[in-house]
Amino acid sequence: MTFRLHRLAIVLAALAVPIVLYSCATKPVETATDETDRGIEEHARQMIMQGRKIFRSDTFGSEAFWTKTRLHEAIAGEKNGGVGPGISPNQALKLGLRVDSGAVPRLIVALIQAGTANLDNPEVPLDRR
């Protein structure tokens, strides 16, 4: 009985080897379509946009540190609810602070574009608060 099982196993293995070799040698079937490619590209675009938003907006936990320093109050100045004289938008830019152009009020953007905004005045608001 075991001799028959051995022989059967050898025959099956002999038949399996050519099948496996044939499947390895044939050209793979192309499953991608224009629709799946578009879906993949759209997902990639969404991931890039999400990454940009996170990179540009997320503080990565540093807001607790900067809140404790009260730096935002020193920038705003006493006349704007902060402490000290405050700094002008031009001074802030010279110090290396970045501006989120989406947070600048439209009226100020129009004045900047017209060249009539006084960016040397610490009382010029550049945020929506």
Tens of pLDDT, residues 37-50: 888 899 999 999 99
pLDDT band (50, 70, 90) for residue 129? very low
Instruction: Give the separation between CA 118 and CA 89, rounded to whole angstroms.
Output: 9
Q: pTM of this prediction? A: 0.45
Instruction: Give the separation between CA 49 and CA 55, rounded to whole angstroms.
Output: 10
pLDDT at 47: 94
